[in-house]
A and B are shown apart, each in its own frame.
Chain A
């Protein structure tokens, strides 16, 4: 919740970045990407429109449109759908294990994914948000339903403190966030889930 000060709070101990819960349609709106610190290894974050920085995300859904691309440097791309939209995932030679997993998982299967969100501008000037997979595994509908609740709750929590944290103020300035859009997104995701 207080990730606004996370990452540079003077602690020497290495703190693993938590995997934020975010719906596909919010990630798709994400544009602001920044580096926290001047060091080569400083973490790169994206600023979610609901006001939290994120360097890692976790999501669940059905995997579709799996494709193997590249000849000399093969990599995989696929889509993962949640009730709000699509996540575009990819794994290349630097994510050997993730690539192997994607190659083994059949299309249409429910998956859980951990990865790094990346905002990239395409040559034609449009913006594309994808996720570089760190870990992917075949799970089930049950897990996906728990994730939808988890993510709706996290989203509502972010909306609740929007404007109170440094990061959410920045997000508000950058995106001019309409909180109601994201409240409705969470609501729709929830009601589309069968009990």
Chain B
């Protein structure tokens, strides 16, 4: 296959614009080497050859202006690309590794991407909220999300102008790995399970609910449960096919007075409770402010050690099975009290006046729940149904009659 002469001509013209005349045959020879001998795609080769001549002839790109067609929109970049982009540093985070000088997010009017400046790049330090032009950066993929790498071959030029930038919020149901701006309500605020975790819980909008996590940082801000926020430039991570939002370093503004009708209670499953998890029944929670972790038998909190002034709580973890799928369910105190008929006070009384203690509450709940049919409605979260409403099912004579009709009519080729 011969190389399209247009490619050679384009390179020649580009070099000419920069004030250098290069023999077309030389350009063609270089292109041939890359394309024919090395099997590099023509577009890639075009870039490489152009850059090579620019370096060889000591031309600079500085003369090029903003309309330079080489500048790509962030939204159009893909892993594997060598790119030149112009964007604003909208967030900086503490780099997770000493081999990184800086880590953060840059954005243009098309979208945003995470970036990493390698220590070895020896680049000038980027400042938050300033615009820069990044030439010859690379886009790769880190844990499923695109990430721009600034390496020693990347040229960074500060752009001395603040261009308008209006991030567009997207629906939670449209999340994809990378960076996103969202308009959400804090649905739940959970107990962090890890020392490095600052906050975790669930965010929701009209379309979906998503788990979020904020790792400890120098300038952590806490989200309040029940409030609505605009969250700018949150990281979207993927884990086992599910997305979660990483708010570390993200900026958020409370949308005061706003209300969102959370998508939820959307999942309804009817089935039999066939198993109760060991964390069911009366549990003890760590009393330390904001901790709330479940204590073990020895009143031990993984973070705050022995806590004798614990707080009691009631919950049910178990498996609801409808015959074609087994779903983990988590039922909080209010619904747990309703379906078992055991209030928190009663459970405490049972536990404190019985040699088996907490175990006795667990056994009583097993006797009441296991093997019976319930309908649970709630939000599916990482494969667990967070039950908002749970009802014991009773026999339905109408359904029964319907089934008799179906059994007598369903066509199996022979009459009954």
Chains A and B are bound partners: yes
A91 to chain B, nearest CB (A): 15
Q: Say whether A138 faces chain B, with CB atoms less than 8 Å apart.
A: yes
Check if A135 sits within 8 Å of B370, measured CB to CB. Answer: yes
A137–B326 CB distance below 8 A? no
Instruction: Give complex CA distance A114, B328 in Å.
Output: 16
Interface-centre pick from B274, B319, B322, B326 (highest chain A CB count, 10 A): B274
A149 and B413 contacting across the interface, CB-CB below 8 Å: no
CB neighbours of A12 from chain B (8 A) = 240
Q: For the complex, is B396 an interface residue (Cβ under 8 Å from A)?
A: yes
Q: Which of A168-195 contact B (CB under 8 A)?
A: 179-180, 183-184, 186-187, 190-191, 193, 195
- Is A152 among interface residues, defined by CB-CB distance under 8 A? yes
Q: Of A32-40, A124-132, A154-162, which stretch is located at the interface? A: A154-162
Q: Contacts of A137 on B, CB cut-off 8 Å?
A: 366-367, 370-371
Q: Is B36 an interface residue (CB 8 A)?
A: no
Question: Known contacts being A18-B325, A19-B326, A137-B371, is A183 close to B275, with CB within 8 Å?
Answer: no
Chain B positions 379-416 with a Cβ under 8 Å from a chain A Cβ: 383, 393-397, 399-401, 403-404, 406-408, 410, 412-414, 416
A75, CB-defined interface residue at 8 Å: no
Distance from A135 Cβ to chain B, minimum over Cβ atoms (Å): 6
Quick one: which of B272, B323, B396, B406 has the most chain A CB within 10 A? Answer: B323
Distance in Å from the Cβ of B363 to the closest Cβ of chain A? 10
Interface residues contributed by chain B, number (CB under 8 Å): 37
Q: Does A142 belong to the interface (CB within 8 Å)?
A: yes
Set of chain A residues within 8 Å of B367, measured between Cβ atoms = 137-138
In the assembled complex, the Cα of A142 lies from the Cα of B401 at a distance in Å of 16
Q: Does A87 contact B (CB under 8 A)?
A: no
Distance of A48 Cα from B373 Cα, bound (Å): 23
Q: Check if B404 sits within 8 Å of A18, measured CB to CB.
A: no
The residue on A at minimum CB distance from B322 is A18
Proximity bits, B284-321, A CB within 8 Å = 1, else 0: 00000000000000000000000000000000000101
A156 and B274 contact, Cβ closer than 8 Å, known pairs A18-B322, A180-B414:
no
Asked if A29 is at the interface of the complex by the 8 Å CB criterion, the answer is no
A184 to B416 Cα, complex, angstroms: 7
Distance between Cα atoms of A179 and B324 in the complex (Å): 21
- Please measure, in the bound complex, the distance between the C-alpha atom of A18 and the C-alpha atom of B320, giving whole angstroms: 9
- Could you say which residues of chain B place their CB within 8 Å of the CB of A15? 326
Residue ID in chain A nearest B328 by CB atoms: A16
The smallest C-beta distance from A67 to any residue of chain B, in angstroms, reads 22
- Does the CB pair B371–A114 fall under 8 Å? yes
How many residues in A have their beta carbons less than 8 Å from beta carbons of B? 46
Whether B319 and A156, one on each chain, are in contact in the complex, defined by CB atoms closer than 8 angstroms, is no
Q: Which of A18, A143, A159, A195 contacts B373 (CB 8 A)?
A: A143
- Which residue of chain B lies nearest to A159 when distances are taken between CB atoms in the complex? B412
> Taking the complex as formed, is B346 at the interface, i.e. its CB lies under 8 A from any CB of chain A?
no
Is B372's beta carbon under 8 Å from chain A?
yes
Query: Which of the listed residues A18, A134, A160 has the most CB atoms from chain B within 10 Å of its own CB?
Result: A18
Q: Is B400 a contact partner of A114 (Cβ separation < 8 A)?
A: no
Given A180-B413, A195-B397: A112 touches B326 (CB 8 Å cut-off): no
Whether A58 sits at the interface, judged by CB under 8 Å, is yes
Contacts of A146 in B (CB 8 A): 373, 393-396
Given contacts A145-B395, A160-B410, A183-B412, contact A139 B323 (CB under 8 A): no
Q: Once the chains bind, are B406 and A139 in contact (CB under 8 Å)? A: no
The answer to whether A156 and B407 touch (CB under 8 A), given A58-B321, A184-B416, is: yes
Check A149/B319 contact, CB under 8 A, given A142-B395, A184-B416.
no
Given A114-B274, A159-B412, A193-B400, 9 more pairs with CB closer than 8 A: A13-B240, A18-B325, A58-B274, A142-B394, A146-B394, A150-B323, A180-B412, A186-B407, A195-B401
Q: List 11 A-B contacts (CB under 8 A).
A: A3-B324, A58-B274, A111-B371, A112-B371, A146-B394, A146-B396, A147-B272, A153-B403, A180-B413, A187-B407, A193-B400
Residues of A that sit less than 8 Å from B by CB: 1, 3, 12-13, 15-21, 58, 60, 111-114, 134-139, 142-143, 145-147, 149-150, 152-154, 156, 159-160, 179-180, 183-184, 186-187, 190-191, 193, 195
